[in-house]
């Protein structure tokens, strides 16, 4: 009689769901043996609709991007069906602690944020509020604040106001952005003030760094490739050593044969060798970025893409520029 009453696989999955058997459902979803895709999908859907934290962790690890997991497609298909208070709570916890919720070292995908915001908005707000006062600093906090702005309600405004007083400027900036988008004129003003101050600080830092490059030989290291860069004087002197005279105004280099050169062929060889060494020296000539104050070598600037506005090379460090000759 056992034989006659054997369940079909789909029926079995239904029963597993009723019994809350996450482990077996997960086995169906992620099995490496060839099983019907229909069964995988049924197992994924069962996990998504259980409103259960362990089931969500099983789904999350099945759909992780770098996983060549056989259950990935079925899992992704089932995710939109996930709903419920336990799912929301799970999503909030997954944002706080991704590695313990099936994400390994990955950053939670967009669907986790959506679940947290849709299924447990109050818990999400609690979490953001608590994270603002936490030590050590959590890098994800600014993302929390940024996502918070997509919600509505008085509590959001309150939390954003608190975040707008945070000691970290990036968190203040996101919070002020959110408040300004809600029509808070004062926040909009504070936001432009904060951005102006940040811009000034960047400019001052660039001037400081450029001065350091000019006065300290130790600072004359290409910020992109790490090789030593030459000032104009050093470059002119090095070029002279291999037979080139550089015009300081135009920058033109002319080869001047010196020493004993025998015949036309010997002169050509000397010029060819001089040119090769001159090219090497020229590649290490230094330039300083006007936007970030960092030094770069000619070779790195030649490789950089063109800046659409200055038409010169984009700074390899800050993507701005333009660069000026490292003069002394
Ligand atoms: Zn370089
Ligand atoms: Zn730069």
Distances (CA, A) of 253 to 260, 273, 278, 325: 21, 15, 9, 16
Q: Are 229 and 284 in contact (CB under 8 A)?
A: yes
Give the mean pLDDT of 36-62. 93
Q: What span, in angstroms and rounded, lies between the C-alpha atoms of 277 and 194?
A: 50
Q: Which range, 64-78, 125-139, 200-214, has the best average confidence (pLDDT)? A: 200-214
Q: What span, in angstroms and rounded, lies between the C-alpha atoms of 34 and 55?
A: 22
Distance in Å, CA 203 to ligand 1 centroid: 22
- Among all bound ligands, the one having the nearest atom to the CA of 303 is 1
- Among all bound ligands, the one having the nearest atom to the CA of 316 is 2
- pLDDT band with cut points at 50, 70 and 90 for residue 138: low
Q: Is residue 1's pLDDT more than 50?
A: no
What pLDDT is recorded for position 292?
94
Q: Is residue 65's pLDDT more than 70?
A: no
Give the mean pLDDT of 147-161. 85
- Among all bound ligands, the one having the nearest atom to the CA of 286 is 1
Q: What span, in angstroms and rounded, lies between the C-alpha atoms of 83 and 94?
A: 15
Q: Is residue 35's pLDDT more than 90?
A: no
What pLDDT is recorded for position 32?
78
Distance in Å, CA 87 to ligand 1 centroid: 51
Distance in Å, CA 218 to ligand 2 centroid: 19
- Among all bound ligands, the one having the nearest atom to the CA of 209 is 2
Q: Which range, 28-32, 122-126, 299-303, has the best average confidence (pLDDT)? A: 299-303
Distance in Å, CA 312 to ligand 2 centroid: 12
Q: What span, in angstroms and rounded, lies between the C-alpha atoms of 37 and 41?
A: 6
Give the mean pLDDT of 125-129. 88
Distance in Å, CA 219 to ligand 2 centroid: 15
Q: Is residue 322's pLDDT more than 80?
A: yes
**Rg of the Cα trace of the chain?**
32
Distance in Å, CA 205 to ligand 2 centroid: 11
What pLDDT is recorded for position 136?
57
- pLDDT band with cut points at 50, 70 and 90 for residue 132: confident
Domain residue ranges in the chain: 1-104, 218-325
Tell me the per-residue pLDDT of 80-114, one tens digit each, with 9 for 90 and over.
999 999 999 999 999 888 888 888 766 778 899 88
Give the mean pLDDT of 64-68. 68
- Among all bound ligands, the one having the nearest atom to the CA of 304 is 1
pTM over 0.75: no
Tell me the per-residue pLDDT of 169-223, one tens digit each, with 9 for 90 and over.
888 998 999 999 889 999 999 999 999 999 999 999 999 999 999 999 889 999 9
Distance in Å, CA 255 to ligand 1 centroid: 26
Distance in Å, CA 145 to ligand 1 centroid: 38
Give the mean pLDDT of 72-78. 92
What pLDDT is recorded for position 314?
95
Give the mean pLDDT of 263-268. 70
**Which segment of 4-18, 84-98, 227-241, 273-287 scores lowest on mean pLDDT?**
4-18
Counting other chains too, the contacts that 20-29 makes at CB distance below 8 Å and 24 or more residues apart are 20/50, 20/52, 22/47, 22/50, 22/52, 22/54, 22/55, 22/58, 25/55, 25/58, 26/58, 26/62, 29/58, 29/59, 29/62, 29/71, 29/74, 29/75
Q: Is residue 3's pLDDT more than 60?
A: no
The neighbour count for residue 138, using CB atoms within 10 Å, is 13
- Among all bound ligands, the one having the nearest atom to the CA of 225 is 1
Average pLDDT score, the chain: 88
- Among all bound ligands, the one having the nearest atom to the CA of 294 is 2
Distance in Å, CA 226 to ligand 1 centroid: 6
Higher pLDDT, 150 or 78: 78
Q: Which range, 61-65, 123-127, 136-140, 144-148, has the best average confidence (pLDDT)? A: 123-127
Distance in Å, CA 27 to ligand 2 centroid: 53
Q: Of all residues in the chain, what percent carry a pLDDT higher than 90? A: 53
- Among all bound ligands, the one having the nearest atom to the CA of 205 is 2
Ion ligand 1, residues whose Cβ is below 5 A away? 222, 224-225, 297, 300
Q: Which range, 7-16, 128-137, 288-297, has the best average confidence (pLDDT)? A: 288-297
């Amino acid at each position: 009689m056992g034989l006659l009453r054997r369940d079909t696989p789909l029926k079995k999955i239904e029963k597993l769901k009723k019994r809350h058997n996450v482990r077996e459902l997960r086995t169906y979803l992620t099995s490496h043996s060839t099983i019907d895709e229909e069964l995988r999908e049924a197992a994924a859907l069962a996990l998504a609709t259980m409103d259960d934290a362990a089931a969500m962790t099983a789904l999350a690890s099945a759909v992780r991007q770098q996983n060549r997991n056989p259950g990935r497609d079925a899992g992704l298909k089932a995710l939109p069906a996930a709903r419920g208070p336990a799912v929301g709570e799970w999503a909030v916890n997954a944002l706080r602690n991704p590695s313990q919720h099936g994400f390994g070292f990955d950053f939670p995908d967009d669907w986790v944020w959506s679940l947290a915001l849709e299924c447990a908005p109050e818990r999400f707000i609690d979490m953001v509020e608590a994270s603002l006062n936490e030590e050590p600093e959590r890098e994800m906090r600014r993302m929390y604040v940024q996502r918070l702005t997509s919600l509505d309600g008085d509590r959001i405004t309150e939390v954003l106001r608190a975040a707008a007083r945070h000691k970290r400027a990036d968190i203040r900036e996101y919070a002020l952005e959110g408040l300004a988008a809600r029509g808070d004129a004062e926040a909009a003003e504070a936001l432009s003030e904060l951005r102006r101050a940040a811009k000034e600080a960047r400019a001052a830092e660039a001037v400081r760094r450029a001065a350091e490059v000019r006065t300290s030989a130790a600072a004359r290291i290409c910020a992109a490739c790490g090789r030593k860069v030459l000032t104009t004087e050093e470059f002119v002197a090095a070029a002279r050593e291999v037979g080139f005279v550089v015009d300081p105004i135009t920058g033109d280099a002319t080869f001047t044969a010196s020493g004993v050169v025998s015949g036309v062929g010997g002169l050509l060889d000397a010029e060819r060798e001089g040119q090769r060494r001159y090219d090497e020296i020229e590649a290490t000539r230094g330039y300083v970025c006007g936007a970030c104050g960092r030094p770069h070598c000619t070779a790195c600037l030649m490789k950089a893409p063109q800046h659409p506005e200055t038409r010169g090379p984009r700074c390899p460090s800050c993507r701005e520029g333009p660069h000026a000759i490292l003069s002394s």
